[in-house]
Structure 1
């Protein structure tokens, strides 16, 4: 069942268009959103809630969160570059154009279809904590609950992004390394217009970082780069970042290791010495991206792949395994039953996420047990259709956060699913002198409790939220996809898969469909669950569904901006279909 055919199978209430006019208004919103009688326009084909149709092409495709980054990727493909080359070029542009979500100060993960090997490959380029930062010092910076601050030097771990680029290019690149940075350098030096979402979040970052309560060691460099006139740029204004352009030139000329072993690394070490931090050149030089094991589960005939290591990728597989035990087509698209059972699957999986997910170099998670069908059936038996399960506990093992997601594909059949992040928005608030980028705050996700798998240790990788997605059918590539946004990512991934597999939606419609997001589960930081949590629903979820969920006892709230950002490329025989996120500023193109 594909595309428009699913509409005929829906209950009348589910097929109704989203009540877009009921959008909640939050402080700082565009006043054009405050018009309750305005609804979305009508489409003559496809799902009536879809924002657009997919972009089709035969030679290659790209979908990113910024139009200029997508164009850069397509340009690389047209010049004979591989999908890996296009991904690097797009990411370099996004680090400049979407600094509120990503950049070379953050980490990167990749799932990639290798057409020669005929399988999905996984790349982990997550950086480690400084070796000179002790657990005792970290605990001294934690609050009364043992949770680490969201910003500042104690949260900074080694950035992994540039070495991920190096690893991709060394194995799969076709163009010269330096060529991949041409567009990003040009836009950094000549300038580019700021998009709507970026303008909104840059303004919020300035307010947050300059608030004395944030206790960030140094904010002048942030202001110098992103608010040189005293404010951050508004939508449509031309923004330049020549400092980042110079950093990109050093990387383009010196290779990927230039970030970790040359002038850039020396500048980062001097910066931390100046502000009282811990990162050193030795910490940077020790980082290497690693090709790693890819895990998978079968969901109604589709193989869904995920990374384990120190990520939350296993949560996607655990949720799908639990969901597979129920008949979602019988539940109905956007029905209360479908959402209720999915949220309960999430709550069960996320208790395991809080208990078992951590850096596998320090703690060996029971991965095969966690993603087994037998364990999923055991957990699924806990779910009741007429009430909420409470409390929720992790399973008994047998003995023994903002982000950017983007995807590219080329004429040879290579498909790259890649995700990259500074973690909480722009990151730590710390921007090394003269380099034009911000360092991540991923270290906030360490736990501080003795015995916890994710407890802080020097040279350890923190728990990671960023996860690329990939799915195959009959041993062939089908879907490179991702949904960015902290703990929303596994929740968003299973909604995309269910929308396409259970309900026959197309690749664009699957992302435009109204989403849910559940918050309040236990966290890998040691933060306990908050009762049954809060279920956030987009306003497009049918009113009857919302009413039925409330009757079950769910605490319902809207959460504008909290449903992630989606990009995808679907492989069809001899062609690609590319989709992008209506909630962001991006564009999908194919040729």
Structure 2
């Protein structure tokens, strides 16, 4: 239990249903859907789509999603890949011919097809109860009436507003200015899009005027996307991957997501007595940082479109982790070159819902960097993701950009399972940080016996491209010790990610936790 003398938040406890996410209006809307008779999938979709209005710099209907879920009474965890592909005319060679070594972050070359809306429509039909007209109603309402800009959202908006270009500046600035805390943001164009989807389903988004509006915004900038590309978008059921740590199984979405990286990272950490270390000391941070370097190097070599990921078994093998762990020196840093990971970003939303029948949903939804590509459609104001920046331009690389191919994704929903039963859906946002965030959360829970809220509150560190980013929650002495070990330590302006979790107790009670780094909360009833 936390020290009640100190600032902080308690976990939320309820019996009938629970939602944890990064904005209170989305959490409230999800609970309202449950009270209307919807199930966890209905509620998760309703909340997720609304998050695109509440946090437009993080996500939106021009983005992608990944989902893990389990049906009531089943032990099986199902996965759905809602990530879009590159257009049929995409070409790494053409970018290399322009003497580019990376996909431009804010150009049409980085825009992959938006996959989330197809996934939401599919999941609503296959798993939901209420129908699109009901579950999209909260987002339609707030897109029209407006949402007061929350503090963390305002911080991110100001930081990323320079990415906005063309029509996006009209749709996502208020009379040319960045919205401030408490200003009302409206998205009437998106309200109309959602009304049409509620009435006509996915074809309203992927065919006709709405798709034409998105394609025109891209083609005006030299994009090669076509109506046929949009029409072919289709979410795909996949098989989760998992690994054991301290008596629990960490379950992750398979590639093209980077969830296998978190499993590899924990497999490496098994070779060290983490539980004997000071949880907020330099020794733990150092071992985690060195293990992360190795795990992310493997990620950048192996993870790609599932049709091109051929060494996943090798990445998840315990023998691989043992060999990597042997490279770690507790007294100094590994002289690895900076890995090829994408630029760090914090722009993703996560929502988890558990209903009274114990359907469990873990859903993550993103447009990649802040405001995605910065390109929005003229009429409807749909921001388009820049997930294509996750491709490699290296010839022959498994993750090389190619026609109709999915890029490596950073977003990963997670679940914990014990004795065959789901015990916690969770997510830790933060772009490239996410595998480290998943591993640290699991370690906080099972090496140090923290409750979910304390595990999310705890300070974070992240080794990325030669720099060890350390939050201000670490004391000066720890930072000095890390510097003495050879780390280049920086304190980032933006905290590392954000997280949400719901623990299912054997008593039938739900415990919800929500990261104070975001504006959100856990709510139950």
Q: Given the alignment of the two structures, is residue 191 of structure 1 paired with residue 146 of structure 2, yes or no? A: yes
Match of 1:543 among 459, 476, 488: 476
Q: Distance in 2 between matches of 1:434 and 1:370?
A: 45
Q: Distance in 1 between matches of 2:91 and 2:335?
A: 38
Match of 2:191 among 210, 227, 245: 245
* SS across alignment from 1:487: helix
- Residue in 2 that maps onto 1:43: 4
Match of 1:555 among 477, 488, 499: 488
Q: Distance in 1 between matches of 2:153 and 2:223?
A: 28
Give the alignment's TM-score, normalised by structure 2.
Answer: 0.95
Q: Is the 8 A contact 2:251 2:414 kept in 1?
A: yes
Q: Distance in 2 between matches of 1:266 and 1:550?
A: 53
Q: Is the 8 A contact 1:268 1:279 kept in 2?
A: no
Q: Given the alignment of the two structures, is residue 149 of structure 1 paired with residue 104 of structure 2, yes or no? A: yes
Match of 2:321 among 343, 364, 376: 376
Give the alignment's TM-score, normalised by structure 1.
Answer: 0.85
Q: Is the 8 A contact 1:141 1:149 kept in 2?
A: no
Match of 1:570 among 503, 517, 523: 503
* SS across alignment from 2:136: helix
- Residue in 1 that maps onto 2:75: 118
The 1:180–1:486 alpha-carbon spacing in structure 2 relative to 1, beyond 3 Å, is same
The 1:188–1:321 alpha-carbon spacing in structure 2 relative to 1, beyond 3 Å, is same
Q: Given the alignment of the two structures, is residue 473 of structure 1 paired with residue 418 of structure 2, yes or no? A: yes
Paired residue total: 518
User: Which protein shows a greater Rg?
Assistant: 1
Consecutive aligned runs of 4 or more in structure 1 exceeding 4 Å deviation: none
Match of 1:582 among 473, 497, 516: 516
Q: Is the 8 A contact 2:13 2:524 kept in 1?
A: yes
- Residue in 2 that maps onto 1:39: none
Cα deviation, residue 174, structure 1: 1.0
Q: Distance in 2 between matches of 1:95 and 1:196?
A: 16
Match of 2:137 among 174, 177, 182: 182
Greater shift in the superposed pair: 321-330 or 502-511: 321-330
Matches within 5 A, 1:15-414: 43-44=4-5, 51-140=8-97, 143=100, 146-209=101-164, 219-361=165-307, 363-391=308-336, 401=345, 402-414=347-359
Q: Distance in 2 between matches of 1:410 and 1:140?
A: 52
- Residue in 1 that maps onto 2:409: 464
1:475-510 CA-to-partner distances (Å, cap 9, x unmatched) read: 111111111111110011111110011001111110
Q: Distance in 1 between matches of 2:34 and 2:471?
A: 36
The two structures, once aligned, show a CA RMSD in angstroms of 1.7
Q: Is the 8 A contact 1:121 1:294 kept in 2?
A: yes
Cα deviation, residue 152, structure 1: 1.6
Q: Is the 8 A contact 1:247 1:264 kept in 2?
A: yes
Gaps of 5+ in 2: 340-344
Cα deviation, residue 313, structure 1: 0.8
1:290-337 CA-to-partner distances (Å, cap 9, x unmatched) read: 110100001010000112221111100000001112111211211222
Gaps of 5+ in 1: 5-41, 210-218, 395-400, 521-532
1:103-144 CA-to-partner distances (Å, cap 9, x unmatched) read: 01011001112234321111111101111233333334563x
- Residue in 2 that maps onto 1:527: none
- Residue in 2 that maps onto 1:442: 387
- Residue in 2 that maps onto 1:28: none
Q: Is the 8 A contact 2:53 2:147 kept in 1?
A: no
